[in-house]
Amino acid sequence: MRTITFLPSYRKIDVDLGTTILDAAQRAGLNINVVCGGQGKCGKCIVYVQSGKTEFDRQKHSRFFTEEELVKGACLACATRMLGDLLVFIPESTLIQEQKILIEGLETEIELHPSVRKYYVELEPPTLTNPSPDLSRLLWGIQKSGGPVAEKMYAPLEMLREIPAMLRHSDWKVTGTIALVPGGYRLIDLQENDTSKRLYGAAIDLGSTTVVVYLWDLVAGNVVGIASNYNKQISCGEDILARVNFARKNGLSKLQALAAESINTALTTASDTAGIDRDDIYEVVVAGNTVMTHMLLGIDPAYIIAEPYVPVVRRALSVAAKRLGIACNPNGGVFAFPAVSDFIGGDIIADILSCGMSEREEVSLLIDIGTNFEVVLGNREWMFSCAGAAGPALEGGEVLFGMRANPGAIDKITIDPETLKPVFSTINGIKPRGMTGSGLIDLLAELLVTCVIDRNGRINTGINNPRIRKATHFSEFVVVWAQDTGIGKDIVITENDIKNLIMSKASVHAACVTLMKEAGQSRHDIATIYFAGAFGNYLNIKNATTIGLIPEIPYDHIKNIGNGAVTGANIALINRRKRKTLDEIALKIAYIELNAEPAFMDEYTSSTFLPHTDLSLFPQVQKMLDACRLLRG
């Protein structure tokens, strides 16, 4: 054994006499650039021997170095063997640099380090003096080209059956695709000639309504296509409950196939647009809620939706794509995000990954609101989560003029404190037809700070303004007069609408506070609040605080991360180290069943005021209310 020390890192390794510097460097974990696979042909693996005895191939070296350079110790790492202890300097240009990538929706860069990689190798054909088996020859070649250590790679039977003919037919020039698997690396594909630049992967947000696909070039490290389409399962039921019941009656296979088809349609759109072959997509990473993930995998979700709400599996899973009918490379794999419970699924884990809260010391609060809401509180040490039904009000349901975020929906409103005239914008800028969730939150907040409504949500009919009137059942506030709408009638908000909105926001706020109490944290301990999902996109953060949807913290510490599910899937696709943390994150998260927490009901009751019974928790809101009280007298 001899010791070789590499500079500038001072990394050391003991190796046998006669080992090449390249082998030693690779075993020391240094990624040296070797395009030719260590045959002394490409001249990329230049290092400088600073002390120690070596033996090298003078002829190979003379092609790349002048006599002067050779005197300085310059040599090819692949064609120089150790004859004693060595001190070797590796210039930065010789090392393969980690590529860093900025993913949409993230503030920091992620290293390009995917689970699947391709290696082009030109192998020496076997001879009587080197009759090593085809597999060893191939794997050593891949190792020399910068791949994993040969002993850690293995080939499944289907590859072993292809290898001998493929190597000889291609004249020993092949591209191997290597995937990281538990316990090692698997050779998942072998192609003739150099296809190493054709390596793609897809990150997918599998929602119950919509499927979003990001297609990545995993060599260049950029997005080459984005596509989305409806989840075709909608034909088996509008919501998840209906679909699980459909599966219970008719079996799961149709829903499984529809989930795969929904992904395939988006995948095809994205790959066609990018002009790439779907066979060059080797990996698909899917973040979805617990039921959607079970359905895609063909695992019975029936027990998730009924007491005691038990998933079959919550770990991350890696599955052959062809087993699921996903139309990528036939040897490609699907990675599904882990879950915590029935409600805290892979989509929420993806949110956590994308906001980075599980990597930081400081405490964050993550909120994902739809018909249901999920809340996660924690940091890199601990995390608590819960989920509940927000009711449809925040999405524009159960509100007279509420609507989804379609054209004509009012998404932003301010109200003039004097005239009470609303100023608003609509989606697509057409005449208003109703109000979306974010518009309703704005409206509620504006009505509160203009003292049109009190902290119970009752309309102050004492104010003399035509917009405030009593209707048959409830008092109401006219947001847009009929002639200015696209529907020919007054768009109003009633006291009943306001009651429904308050009930919804109270659930979310009570859930946040329940977790905070569980963790012994006050609002002052929360460094950041993250909104994930479409809801957050249009939300006015100040108004969300004003109505008491969330605990009050400085407004600039509240962030919207957008589609965290697809961002998290993107991260897990391009960086396998991040992916490896997912199961740990999922295991770390304690799930709090709100219905079993007496604190939740107490807190809910306290939260059915605007913003809350205890105004001291909302000092900024209190200031605004004081100001409006002055205004109204």
Catalog residues that contact its own copies under the rule CB under 8 A.
126-136, 154-155, 157, 160-161, 163-165, 181-184, 297-300, 302-303, 307-315, 317, 319, 323, 341-342, 593, 596
CA torsion sign, 503 to 393 to 537 to 225? positive
Q: How many CB atoms lie within 10 A of CB 591?
A: 17
Cβ nearer to its own copies, comparing 317 with 624:
317
Supply 100's token pair.
Answer: 């860093």
- H/E stretch holding 50: strand 46-51
Cβ nearer to its own copies, comparing 310 with 389:
310
Beta strand 86-89 pairing with 2-7: parallel
Cβ nearer to its own copies, comparing 42 with 299:
299
- H/E stretch holding 591: strand 589-591
- 3-state secondary structure (DSSP) of residue 331: coil
CB of 163 to its own copies, least distance (A): 6
Q: How far apart are CA 593 and CA 11, in angstroms?
A: 50
Cβ nearer to its own copies, comparing 186 with 433:
186
Q: How many CB atoms lie within 10 A of CB 313?
A: 14
Cross-strand partners of 5:
12, 87
Supply 564's token pair.
Answer: 């965290």
Task: Find out whether 46 and 75 touch, Cβ atoms under 8 Å.
Answer: yes
CB of 40 to its own copies, least distance (A): 22
Cβ nearer to its own copies, comparing 160 with 389:
160
* Eight-state DSSP code of residue 190: E
CB of 373 to its own copies, least distance (A): 20
**Nearest alpha-carbon partner for 122 in 57, 178, 172:** 172
CB of 168 to its own copies, least distance (A): 8
CB of 199 to its own copies, least distance (A): 24
Length of the chain: 633
CB of 484 to its own copies, least distance (A): 52
CB of 316 to its own copies, least distance (A): 10
Cβ nearer to its own copies, comparing 293 with 494:
293
Task: Find out whether 431 and 484 touch, Cβ atoms under 8 Å.
Answer: yes
| Ramachandran category for residue 614: left, alpha or beta (phi over 0 → left; psi -120 to 50 → alpha) | beta
CB of 297 to its own copies, least distance (A): 7
Task: Find out whether 594 and 386 touch, Cβ atoms under 8 Å.
Answer: yes
CB of 243 to its own copies, least distance (A): 17
Phi, psi of 625 (to 5 degrees): -65, -40
Cβ nearer to its own copies, comparing 132 with 209:
132
Cβ nearer to its own copies, comparing 388 with 434:
388
CB of 115 to its own copies, least distance (A): 14
Distance from chain centroid for Cα 424: 33
Distance from chain centroid for Cα 633: 50
Q: How far apart are CA 547 and CA 544, in angstroms?
A: 6
* Eight-state DSSP code of residue 439: H
